[in-house]
Structure 1
Amino acid sequence: MEEKLITIATFSYAPEMGLVRSKLESEGIECFVKDELVSQTYIHNAVGGMKLQVKETDAERAARIVEEMGVFTKSGSKVSRLGAFDRITRTIPLLGGMSLVVRFFAFLVLIAIVLSFVYLMLVL
């Protein structure tokens, strides 16, 4: 009898899914991707993205690994873009120890400085 597959995560982007899939497979968990090809078309929202599935016996362990990776929140809903910004900027020296709000405004100031510099270079 074939074992039931459980969807442990849903992705809109193949690189994100590939990262999680690689991690699970490196831990010895066999993975399957449902709707992978449809997700590369314009109608990917209609199918709800790519579904990363594992065997039912591996589902709990796989979900725990995905949670430890920080790809999703504990409730299972996707991390917001600000959450992704938080994960990325947390690793930057000098900024990593600051609060998310301070990092966000520091990033905006940095962008303003760069754009001002580019503008001045084009005008002069």
Structure 2
Amino acid sequence: MNNDHDLVKIAAFFQPMDAYLLKTRLEAAGITCFVFDDLTVSANNYLSNAVGGVKVYVSEKDAAEALEIINVEPEEESVCLNCGSKNLRFRRTPIWVHLGSLIVFRLPFLLKGTWECEDCGDRW
């Protein structure tokens, strides 16, 4: 029996976080969706491939709109939190910090770096 309440899988992810990010985008567009196997994968990460990943389902009537939303990349324009400028620069953490932490603590600190606003000098 096929009706509007039948669920259709529209995406599967290796990590639950990615499925919940998609769920947030879909719900912001007014589409009700459900995430399956997130708890299984959260408890046993290595089972993700065995269960087919963390799956996102929507009702059949919303599937076309949901797939359209999936195929549109969200705009990621970073702005300074202090002044609103878009004139930003990313500064990588120097390699000596990573090597120093590995030597001193016998474990690397995986620091990605910081963003710096070219206009006001704010860093985060």
| Same topology, TM > 0.5 | yes
Question: Residues 26-45 of structure 1: matches in 2 within 5 Å?
Answer: 26-40=28-42, 41=44, 42-45=46-49
Aligned counterpart, 1:48: 52
Higher-Rg structure is 2
Question: Residues 31-110 of structure 1: matches in 2 within 5 Å?
Answer: 31-40=33-42, 41=44, 42-69=46-73, 93=88
Aligned counterpart, 1:103: none
Q: Which runs of 4+ in 1 moved over 3 A?
A: 90-95, 116-120
Question: Partners in 1 of 2:53 and 2:47 — Cα distance?
Answer: 9
Aligned counterpart, 1:15: 17
Aligned counterpart, 1:115: 95
Using the aligned pairs only, state the percent identity. Answer: 30
Alignment size in residue pairs: 91
Alpha carbons 1:39, 1:45 under 8 Å: kept: no
RMSD: 3.3
Alpha-carbon spacing, 1:119–1:7, altered in 2? closer, same or farther (3 Å): closer
Larger helix fraction of residues: 1
1:56-80 per-position Cα deviation (integer Å, ceiling 9, x unaligned): 000010011011136xxxxxxxxxx
Question: Partners in 2 of 1:119 and 1:45 — Cα distance?
Answer: 34
1:29-58 per-position Cα deviation (integer Å, ceiling 9, x unaligned): 010112222222132220111110000000
Q: TM-score when scaled to structure 2?
A: 0.57
Alpha-carbon spacing, 1:117–1:10, altered in 2? closer, same or farther (3 Å): closer
Question: Partners in 2 of 1:118 and 1:58 — Cα distance?
Answer: 47
Q: TM-score when scaled to structure 1?
A: 0.57
